[in-house]
Structure 1
Amino acid sequence: MSDIRLKVFYTVASHLSFTKAADVLCITQPAVTKNIKELETELDIRLFERRGNKITLTEAGEILYRHAESIFEIYRKIQYDLGLLKEKQAGELLLGASTTLSHYILPPILANFYKHFPDIRISLLDANTEKIEEAVLQKKVVLGIVEGKSKNKDLKYVPFLKDEIVAVVHTSQELANKDRISKAEFLGIPLVLRENGSGSLEIIAHELHKHDISLNELNLIMQLGSTESIKSFLANSNCMALLSISAVSKEIVEGQFKIIDIDDIDIKRVFYFTHLQGQLEKIPEMFLRFAQNSITKSYNI
């Protein structure tokens, strides 16, 4: 099928309107109708149900729409990757990222970015979310990547990546015999969390509050300043921690850690780029776009 017919179909399906599709594509409505009819003839199946002035997708239309979305996303990535080859940039990029991001998510992205732009020198500040936001406000870094977003009106937040915080235990410990626990059991289990100021701790507190649970009600025995120190602690103690799935996925696959489900508690979050209000300069803007395109599970606005 031709790309123009697929584009016309995708636009009609997105707006469920031939008129709006014609406006968006800057063609006449009869031209839109003609392309849709030719596409339905080519595929030998009806794509839209027409009821008066309203249209809906048929089952076949819904299938084609999903595939068209994927196709046009691939086209956008092709255009982006080819565009990178044309851009020769040099300069300095001052980044700041919270611990989970700087340790487990950013390294392969930074390595790939360096392959494309070897003349850009990158400095990365590794700290918790609170300190990264302070660094952005003080212009010590031009672009931060943080866990959650604050209410600071001087900062702009751009969604980057979805993440999940899970309850984990070391498989060498007695708690690993459990697969699922109740909320009541959860409150009694010795728990290790990140330090105050950590974006992870803020998200955990926010989500637990939805279940009428405060941090003070937890059997919190220790707060540590890094995820790696928490993992080492768990290896030597019959305790539980709430950690990013990104930080423990390798150890889970290797059988060192195990996820314990907690009834009705599901902690999801979004990582955000953050920068001062206003337009980013070219190099940080380029990195932001590069990072978003590097993550297949990036957050869609």
Structure 2
Amino acid sequence: MKLLFLIKAIGGVYIKNIDLYRVFYITAIEKNFSKAANRLFITQPSVSHSIKQLENELAIQLFTRTSKGVLLTKEGEELFGYLKQAFDLIHRGEQKMTEMKNLQSGSVTVGGSDSTCKHYLLPYIQSFQELYPDIQIKLQHGSTPQILNKLTNGLIDIGIVHLPVNQSNVAITDFLDIHSTFVVGKKFQHLSKEKLSLSAIQEYPLISFSEASSSRKFLNQLFLKQQIDVKPDMEVGSVELLIECAKIGMGIAFVTKELVSTELAEKELFEVEIDEVIEKRMIGLAVKKDTSLSLAADMFLNHLLA
């Protein structure tokens, strides 16, 4: 089946059949109707007819016939120059598609918080790049609301977000379980030897993430179950700063337990138990609904879920 387009050509003429240009292009390279026909897998009369049709529609002679074949006219050389650029681009596009299909090129943009990327995502990136070294992984950071906004606006392919998420245009897949806890440094180490109530926790300086963070919202909900309006004494923007504040004795920090496993093991921080059950939280992988991922992004998503 021939592919039909409306292509504006010289003098406002429209050439409807792009195959005519292909026949012209190959004939200009081969300089012979028979050789062009062999290369195009059509008959020589079909080549001659196509060239004649193109010349008629453009109202310009493109070839000069000789005993040995054909030569481009000055006008034909001009047209060939443009078509060469076009077919070179098509060829490069086809090569690019082959590379992407074979995961020899491409990129994936992933969004998440700094701590999520550092503690959960980087090992996956490392193992993925060992398998597919030519795929570029790009990272963008932000809170869960910011990541969802980037995803909606097409700035990232995959978002790593704290659940729950209620957005109809986003598809979520569970990724990791995380556990929240209270920790202190050596100054308040004695608090780790007893089980405290939330009201008792509030008697000490409390360190938390900023109010917009999912961790802070979870902390608020935990205290609200006991009808306590929690007001942290210090708000920080990164898990590293939160850990350091707790270590030097500035108060009790509310943190994801998996992120302080090293400090707990090395006795730099101590876990404070409370008389309430702190439910586990979930981190999910978010992609935009009704949008196809690139081959590279789809492969990386599957790598995360493997």
Q: Same fold (TM over 0.5)?
A: yes
Partners of 1:218 and 1:175 lie apart in 2 by 23
Change (3 A) 1:277 1:207: farther
Matched, 1:273 2:285: yes
Structure 1 residues 280 and 175, CA gap change in structure 2 (3 angstroms): farther
Q: Which aligned pairs between 1:47-196 and structure 2 lie closer than 5 A?
A: 88-196=103-211
Counting only pairs closer than 5 Å after superposition, residues 250-269 of structure 1 correspond to structure 2 as 250-269=262-281
Aligned CA RMSD, in angstroms, stands at: 2.1
**One-letter code aligned to 2:243:** K
Larger relative contact order (Cα-Cα within 8 Å, sequence gap ≥ 6): 1
Runs of 4+ in structure 1 over 4 Å off: 174-177
**TM-score of the two chains, using structure 2 as the length reference:** 0.62
Looking at structure 2, the residues matched to 243 and 267 of structure 1 have their Cα atoms a distance apart, in angstroms, of 13
Report the Cα distance in structure 2 between the residues aligned to 1:275 and 1:181, rounded to whole angstroms.
40
Instruction: Give percent identity, aligned residues only.
Output: 23
Given the alignment of the two structures, is residue 290 of structure 1 paired with residue 293 of structure 2, yes or no?
no
Measure how far apart 1:175 and its partner are.
4.9
Q: Is the 8 A contact 1:175 1:238 kept in 2?
A: no
What stretches of structure 2 of length at least 5 have no aligned partner? 1-100
Contact 1:105 1:246 in 2 (8 A): no
Q: TM-score, normalised by structure 1?
A: 0.63
Q: Verify the 8 A CA contact 1:171 1:256 in the aligned structure 2.
A: yes
The size of the alignment, in residue pairs, is 205
SS in 1 for 2:287: strand
CA positional deviation for 1:87:
5.9
CA radius of gyration, larger in = 2
Q: CA deviation at 1:174?
A: 4.8
**1:209 counterpart = 2:209:** no
**Unmatched 5+ stretches in structure 1:** 1-85, 294-301
Secondary structure of residue in 1 paired with 2:233: strand
Measured in 2, the distance between the counterparts of 1:97 and 1:254 equals 28
How far did 1:164 drift?
A: 0.5
Q: For the structure 1 residues 172 and 190, does the alpha-carbon distance in structure 2 shift closer, same or farther, using more than 3 Å as the test?
A: closer
Structure 2 match to 1:199: 214
